[in-house]
Amino acid sequence: MSKKGLLLCVCQGTCPSFQEMDTFEVLNTLRREGIFEWVGLHPQLCADDGDRYLRELLRGAQIDELYVAACDPTMQKKMYRDAFDDVGFPRDKHIGIEIRNMNTQQVIEELKKAVHLTGNC
């Protein structure tokens, strides 16, 4: 079974598309269920400090896959590719999940579905 990490990005916590989600309930639910090796939160991964955060995190990460719950997965692939390449993290092991305009339970279910669909549950 592969080891998975989860990062939740909440667009500074002020974007209306994240207002129906209880960030900490999402993270705690998935953490308690043991779906991921670890869960983390960043306010804005698309910012310069988001790239630095990804580089530092992935340098020491003992994971096979990184799930990022945030905005559009296509945008994520473009935004994070330099950070992945800099630390040698395989781009195809990044699974982006769009969670905008979802409530807490929808986000939890969407993340569980993403793990199940990759066949690594």
Q: Which strand (E) or helix (H) includes residue 107? A: helix 104-117
Tell me the C-alpha distance between 79 and 1, whole Å.
28
Which residue(s) pair with 29 in the sheet? none
43 pLDDT exceeds 90? no
Cα separation values, 75 from 3, 29, 97, 104, Å: 24, 26, 11, 22
CATH architecture assigned to 4-119: 3-Layer(aba) Sandwich (3.40)
**Percentage of the residues of the chain whose pLDDT score is greater than 90:** 73
Residue given tokens 């209880």 in the structure block: 22
Every domain of the chain and the residues it spans? 4-119
Identify the pLDDT of residue 57. 93
Average predicted confidence (pLDDT) for the chain: 90
38 pLDDT exceeds 70? yes
Tell me the C-alpha distance between 101 and 48, whole Å.
25
Cβ(79)–Cβ(44) below 8 Å: no
Per DSSP, the three-state class of 78 is helix
Identify the pLDDT of residue 11. 73
